[in-house]
Structure 1
Amino acid sequence: MLDVRHLRILAAVAESGSMTRAAARLSYTASAVSQQMATLERQLGTPLFVRHARGVRLTEAGRLLCRHAEQVEEQLRRAEQEVKDLIELRTGRLRLGAFVSAASRLIPDAITEFRRRHPEITLSLDILDPLMAIEAVTARRLDLAVVFDYPPDPVLDFGDLEQEPLLDDPVLVALPPGHARSDADLVSVRELAAEPWIRDCSPDPMCRDMLDRFCREGGFTPTIAFEADNYLTIGRLVQAGVAVALVPGLAVDQLPDDVPLRPLAPTVTRRVCAVSRPEAAPTVARMIEVLREVAEVPRVSVRAS
């Protein structure tokens, strides 16, 4: 493997036409330059210079290698600049992933603010459930993902990924307008044992399992009257008075305004966090800063009849 230092000395000798002048230009001694070029010639097994009274000129092999040396030097300058640009967020891309309700409530504001601060960075977004998002970050298909889990009994395996907590998203119960518990400070899980339920049947298994986990703590199995894969439909069904449903705080904006939303006892919370690889690019750290700021804005709206 050729030494880049040798190539730089070769280019300086070729440009100056003299090892002495090249040495002065590079702040080397003339003997050091001569020794380095002799080493390069031995490595390649061919002369690179023709010596004459006024200095040196390149052989055909020397001219060929010098052209490559110039290209290598240009590539190194370009690489150095690109790294500086990346560190200073003047270039690059950031591939984001998020679950549905985070993508509708957190991510748009985060993207808007990030683009204001770093307009040169290209952003993309994939909507994925937390399990798939963690897999995508681990496999390097995504740089950063916003996911959720349920403390104190988490489901996700983060492996070696780094986690940055963003917010605790309370899960509320959506009740039909005029429901007997629609003005209650807290609604106990046991008070809902006889209610018909709407189950989230979206592809995300964690959302599907949320209702079962909640009802299990109350000692009963929920009666599933309907299933829906989005909170717009769930909200309209609750509004129609046909059943009750669990709704995370990040999704309450998708429900009709007249649907009461009450806190639960015991409390059910989703822990929302950003996950990334340990060696992530500077753009990831900057986006996490923005996400933390966006997550601090109050969003949950507890509503009574």
Structure 2
Amino acid sequence: MASGLDVQRLLIFREIARAGSIASAARSLGWTQPAVSQHLRHLERQAGTPLVLRRPRGVQLTEAGRTLLRHAEAIATRLRLATDELDALVRLRAGSVRLAAFPSAGATIVPAAMGLLAGRHPGLDVRLREAEPPQALGLLAAGEVDLAVTFAHPTSAPHPRAGFPSGPEPVEVGASDLVRVVVGADPLVLVLPRAHPYAQPADVPLPLNALAGEKWVGGCDRCTANLLALCADAGFVPDIRHSSDDYVLTQALIARGLAVGLLPRLALDASRDPGIAVRPVAGLGHRILYVSHHRDADRVPAVRGAIQALLDTMAPTLDHTPT
């Protein structure tokens, strides 16, 4: 009774059937004739029946041999297709990569990186999900995405105001098999109503404590914590009247004179209200932008290609990082 047929021996048997003799199959395979005969005998033992009849001028397939040959041909075809598909994946002619990114990155740098990746490797299927950093890392840990684009504020980043780490580093979210790589920097700026007395000159840094008496708009929990820490460094506690992680709403509140606030440059690149003014502030620093992935996932060609596209898109921000 046939059980556990060996795939290599099936392919050798296929070559015997195609060549018409054991000797011809051995020459085609580059093997010795005794080695090919031995594999055939082992396959016949596994099959439980003769597969060929030996004739003076070659071999003749038995009924069992003809039946098995059909399956051997199908296996050879599937293996060839598998080889072709793997080659396409390795050469980035095919494959997929799933990204999760926070909103302002999802509206700016990620589409640019996706466009760059599509131009380099048009066969790749790239998919994007919008998610704040904690949710993006959760999706990554659960295997629902391949890459998570996240950020850390200057007051919470492991390397605040002191340059950037190089190479992969552990992600501090309790998932030991996740690592992250720095892909860019996103400067923080002060956003004011256009008619505010401190709105000009736009190119001169303003001390943060000059806004100590203002009403402020905060952001998400992490953004608000960063605002509180920066203001504490400047010697005051901000009067936070509003909170929103929607950068469009935040700008709308500021444009109507209801508050001032801090926003990352990417949020302004994504959408800018005409009623606001922007000024640099000494000491605000920048958000560090990361791409996180499972350890060794960057060995997968599609993932590695996406990481490189993000690095190439964000490289100018690393070269011109504000202090």
**TM-score, normalization by structure 2:** 0.82
Q: Which residue of 1 aligns with 2:193?
A: 176
* Separation in structure 1 between the aligned mates of residue 152 and residue 303 of structure 2, nearest angstrom: 21
What are the within-5 Å matches in structure 2 for residues 32-71 of structure 1?
A: 32-71=35-74
Q: Which residue of 1 aligns with 2:172?
A: 157
Q: Does 1:249 align with 2:270?
A: no
Q: Does 1:192 align with 2:207?
A: no
Gaps spanning 5+ residues in structure 1: where? 299-305
Does structure 2 conserve the Cα–Cα contact (< 8 Å) formed by 1:189 and 1:218?
Answer: yes
Q: Does 1:240 align with 2:256?
A: yes
Q: Give a deviation string over 1:65-98, Cα, whole Å, max 9, x none.
A: 2222211211111111111111211112221221
Does structure 2 conserve the Cα–Cα contact (< 8 Å) formed by 1:231 and 1:255?
Answer: no
Gaps spanning 5+ residues in structure 2: where? 159-170, 318-323
Q: Does 1:85 align with 2:102?
A: no
| Secondary structure in 2 matching 1:236 | helix
Identity %: 36
* Separation in structure 2 between the aligned mates of residue 234 and residue 152 of structure 1, nearest angstrom: 21
* Separation in structure 2 between the aligned mates of residue 151 and residue 76 of structure 1, nearest angstrom: 52
Q: Which residue of 2 aligns with 1:289?
A: 308
Q: Give a deviation string over 1:152-201, Cα, whole Å, max 9, x none.
A: 63386263333231212111121223434333633334333322111225
**TM-score, normalization by structure 1:** 0.86
Does structure 1 conserve the Cα–Cα contact (< 8 Å) formed by 2:156 and 2:226?
Answer: no
Q: Supply the AA of the counterpart residue of 1:225.
A: R
Does structure 1 conserve the Cα–Cα contact (< 8 Å) formed by 2:155 and 2:226?
Answer: no
Which has the larger displacement, 31-40 or 253-262?
253-262
| Secondary structure in 2 matching 1:181 | coil
Q: Which residue of 1 aligns with 2:97?
A: 94
Two-structure CA RMSD over aligned residues (Å): 2.5
Would you say how many aligned residue pairs link Structure 1 and Structure 2?
Answer: 296
* Separation in structure 1 between the aligned mates of residue 228 and residue 147 of structure 2, nearest angstrom: 30
Cα shift at 1:288: 2.2
* Separation in structure 2 between the aligned mates of residue 160 and residue 116 of structure 1, nearest angstrom: 31
* Separation in structure 1 between the aligned mates of residue 155 and residue 10 of structure 2, nearest angstrom: 60
Which has the larger displacement, 269-278 or 249-258?
249-258
Q: 1:199 to 1:6 in 2, by over 3 A?
A: same
Does structure 2 conserve the Cα–Cα contact (< 8 Å) formed by 1:214 and 1:268?
Answer: no
Q: Give a deviation string over 1:257-291, Cα, whole Å, max 9, x none.
A: 45222223432321002222323421222222222
* Separation in structure 1 between the aligned mates of residue 154 and residue 266 of structure 2, nearest angstrom: 17
Q: Which residue of 2 aligns with 1:274?
A: 291
Q: Does 1:167 align with 2:184?
A: yes
* Separation in structure 2 between the aligned mates of residue 23 and residue 137 of structure 1, nearest angstrom: 50
Q: Does 1:213 align with 2:229?
A: yes
Which has the larger displacement, 217-226 or 242-251?
217-226
* Separation in structure 2 between the aligned mates of residue 221 and residue 40 of structure 1, nearest angstrom: 82
| Secondary structure in 1 matching 2:302 | helix
Which has the larger displacement, 36-45 or 235-244?
36-45
| Secondary structure in 1 matching 2:259 | coil
* Separation in structure 2 between the aligned mates of residue 53 and residue 102 of structure 1, nearest angstrom: 74
Q: Which residue of 2 aligns with 1:14?
A: 17
